[in-house]
Amino acid sequence: MKCYDYVIVGAGTSGCVMAARLAGHGSVLLIEAGGSGSTRTIRIPAAFPRLFKTSVDWTYFTEPELQLHNRRLYWPRGKVVGGCSAINAMIYVRGHRSDYDAWRDAGNAAWGYDDLLPYFLQSEDNERGISPFHATGGPLPVSDQRSPNPLTYAFIEACTEIGIHGNDDFNGLRQEGVGLYQVNQRGGERWSAARSFLEPLLRSGKVAIITSAHAVRILFDKQTAVGVEYRSEGSIHQVMAAGSVILACGSVNTPQLLMLSGVGPAHQLRARGIPVLCDLPGVGRNLQDHLSVGVMYQCTQNVTLDKADTLSNLANYLLRRRGPFTSNIAEAGAFVRSSPDLTAPDLQFLFGPAYFINHGFTRPDGHGFSIGVVQLRPESRGSVELRSSNPFDAPVIRANYLSAELDRKVLYEGLRIARRIAAARAFDAWRGDPYLPASKDPDPATLMQHIRSQSQTMYHPVGTCKMGSDAASVVDSKLRVHGINNLRIADASIMPSIIGGNTNAPSVMIAERAAAMIIAGENNVEAEQAS
């Protein structure tokens, strides 16, 4: 039976970062349920919707959502080396300063914005160069888009017309405003966490990886994690960890694996016939996600991405890495306060020069554009629970979207603002009839009906193994699982509260921070032994 210093479960965004940073400090094994992800489709930015419901996607669904007409919402989650960074829209947004200061103020020492900025910078290779808020030389490319659509500039102009000021850097001094998103691309190609952090180490042999290996439980010696059991090629295997077992499976699979291993709410584990090793009621609780709903309009000119899949555009991409195939679809956005008395934006807008309906599966005839509305700080809370003791059964996901009245009010106000943006003069040369909602002047009831019938996940589930010291927390501020030795979590599940923006960049930061704490702990032990 093989033994490594570090066994990391999950080669998604955070797992790739963890492996890269721990390499050189001991032997590292990554266990990944998905495949290698070495396909051209993953590297072509505009092709990401075609990855949904394929072999690189866990293809999860929520339980019927009461406030959304009992719809079961589809949740794409990356099942591939690189995880969600291999199938997402590549937007590089860190969130608002106050998001992290709130984590610190809740009792998580050294998790405020000023504490965490160095870890964001440590990863970054921003093509704009060095500034107080950006760095170069890190593994993760952060680039300006190469071929933004003309409609995208119309959106920016439309926002300024209605009073939203311009902002060319959502990760700089201020988040509020409208502008183009920077993306995790290099030379017009997607640059996932796997390409950024992991691939160079795999070539050098400094990190070992087992793909198509489904972790089924953590192995324990009393209250100490000592290894992982996984299924691969029809057989059960075990691998041991001399140092730490690190979970980086994401906000769905991390709590699932903990509960399958006997760590979680005791009553739930017993009900599924799982022996209780450690009663941690917070495992799988505190689920938060960004809910999104869009307004869509027909476009009167043939400039959108809807019919961009042509041989000439493909040739432009293959030869020059230019043109529509470099688009991340959500090319521009805005961060806005729904009320002037707020201290931080609570709404995010995403503009796409195309119809984006039902995750891209619904493709209307003709050309259109979409303005997505995201409520950034939902009060609604959900859960992830075991469906059974079978590790291959998808867990029970209850997001409880819009169960809080504030969430409904903010999303409704966001729709009203989105319609004002679409009605601005900047769109006069492009705007056709409204497509969704179809009414030119919908009343409040129609807009609310639109929210309930069309809202979808923004792909940002977090919080199911939250960091803290209260009874509902799962890990401490060093990301160690309460009540268990040698077991840490390093992914978005540890967020006590969801950040106000896209969650991939913070997932990289969390792993950077976790790896630094592990390495610092080793050094302290060595210093004590030497003395």
Per the DSSP assignment, residues forming a β-bridge with 6 are 28, 244
What ranges do the domains of the chain cover?
Answer: 1-112+190-284+387-393+461-526, 146-180+291-375+403-454
Instruction: Give the pLDDT of residue 524.
Output: 61
Residues 285, 415 contacting (CB under 8 angstroms): no
Residues 178, 156 contacting (CB under 8 angstroms): yes
What is d(CA 295, CA 374) in angstroms, rounded to the nearest whole number? 12
Residue with tokens 């965004």: 13
Tell me the average pLDDT across 340-351. 97
Instruction: Give the pLDDT of residue 531.
Output: 34
Report, in this order, helix, strand and coil percent for the chain, each rounded to 5: 30, 25, 45
Does residue 530 register a pLDDT over 60? Answer: no
Residue with tokens 């979590």: 489
Instruction: Give the pLDDT of residue 522.
Output: 61
Question: What is 1-112+190-284+387-393+461-526's CATH number?
Answer: 3.50.50.60
Whole-number mean pLDDT of the chain? 96
Residues 303, 367 contacting (CB under 8 angstroms): yes
Tokens representing 297 are 């309009």
Q: Which of 69, 237, 460, 482 is flagged as catalytic?
A: 460
Question: At what angle are helices 405-422 and 150-161 packed, to 10 degrees?
Answer: 110
460 part of the active site: yes
Tokens representing 244 are 């730490």
Task: Compute the radius of gyration of the chain from its Cα atoms.
Answer: 23
Could you check whether the bond before residue 437 is cis, i.e. omega within 30 degrees of 0? yes
Stated pTM of the model: 0.97
Instruction: Give the pLDDT of residue 203.
Output: 81
Tokens representing 316 are 């432009």
Does residue 385 register a pLDDT over 50? Answer: yes
The CA-atom distances, in angstroms, between 195 and each of 192, 200, 354, 502 are: 5, 8, 28, 20
Domains 1-112+190-284+387-393+461-526 and 146-180+291-375+403-454 share a fold: no
Does residue 278 register a pLDDT over 60? Answer: yes
- Which band of pLDDT confidence, cut at 50, 70 and 90, is reported for residue 37? confident
Residues 6+ positions from 71 with CB-CB distance below 8 Å: 64, 65, 453
* Angular region, 234: left φ>0, alpha ψ -120 to 50, beta rest: left
Residues 7, 29 contacting (CB under 8 angstroms): yes
- Which band of pLDDT confidence, cut at 50, 70 and 90, is reported for residue 39? confident
Look at the alpha carbons of 222, 225, 231, 237 in this order and tell me if their dihedral is positive or negative. Answer: negative
CATH 3.40.50.2300 for domain 146-180+291-375+403-454, yes or no, is: no
- Which band of pLDDT confidence, cut at 50, 70 and 90, is reported for residue 202? confident
Look at the alpha carbons of 215, 217, 221, 223 in this order and tell me if their dihedral is positive or negative. Answer: positive
